[in-house]
Amino acid sequence: MALALFDLDRTLLSVNAGQLWVRREVRLGHMGRWQATKAAAWIFGYHLGFSRLEKVLEDAIGTLRGTPEADVVARTATFYAEEVAPMYRPRAREAIERHRARGDVLALLSSTSSYLADPVLVALGIEHALCNRFEVDSAGLFTGRPVGPLCFGPGKLDHARELADRLGESLADATFYTDSASDMAVLEVVGHPVAVHPDPTLARIAAKRGWRVEDWGPERKKRARVA
- What domains can you pick out in the chain, each with its CATH number? 3-214 (3.40.50.1000)
What span, in angstroms and rounded, lies between the C-alpha atoms of 164 and 169?
5
Strand order in the sheet with 212-214: 128-132, 105-113, 3-6, 175-178, 192-196, 212-214
What span, in angstroms and rounded, lies between the C-alpha atoms of 224 and 221?
9
Which residue(s) pair with 109 in the sheet?
130
Measured between alpha carbons, how far is residue 41 from residues 28, 57, 202 in Å? 20, 11, 20
Arithmetic mean of pLDDT, 69-85: 96
What pLDDT is attached to residue 73? 96
What pLDDT is attached to residue 128? 98
Which of 17-26, 44-53, 113-122, 156-165 has the weakest average pLDDT?
A: 44-53
Residue 125 buriedness (CB in 10 A; 0-12 / 13-18 / 19+): exposed
* Those residues with Cβ within 8 angstroms of residue 203's Cβ, 6 or more apart along the chain or in another chain: 195, 213
Which residue(s) pair with 130 in the sheet?
109
What pLDDT is attached to residue 34? 53
What span, in angstroms and rounded, lies between the C-alpha atoms of 227 and 220?
21
What pLDDT is attached to residue 169? 97
Arithmetic mean of pLDDT, 179-198: 96
Give CA angle at 44 (38, 45), nearest 5°. 90
Q: Give percent above pLDDT 70 in the chain.
A: 84
Q: What is the pLDDT of residues 39-66, one digit of tens each?
A: 555 555 555 545 456 666 787 788 889 9
Other CB atoms within a 10 A radius of the CB of residue 111 amount to 24
Q: What are the backbone dihedrals phi and psi of residue 48, each rounded to the nearest 5 degrees, phi first?
A: -80, -5
User: Quick check: 116 pLDDT over 60?
Assistant: yes
Confidence (pTM): 0.87
User: Quick check: 68 pLDDT over 80?
Assistant: yes
What span, in angstroms and rounded, lies between the C-alpha atoms of 79 and 73?
10
What pLDDT is attached to residue 59? 76
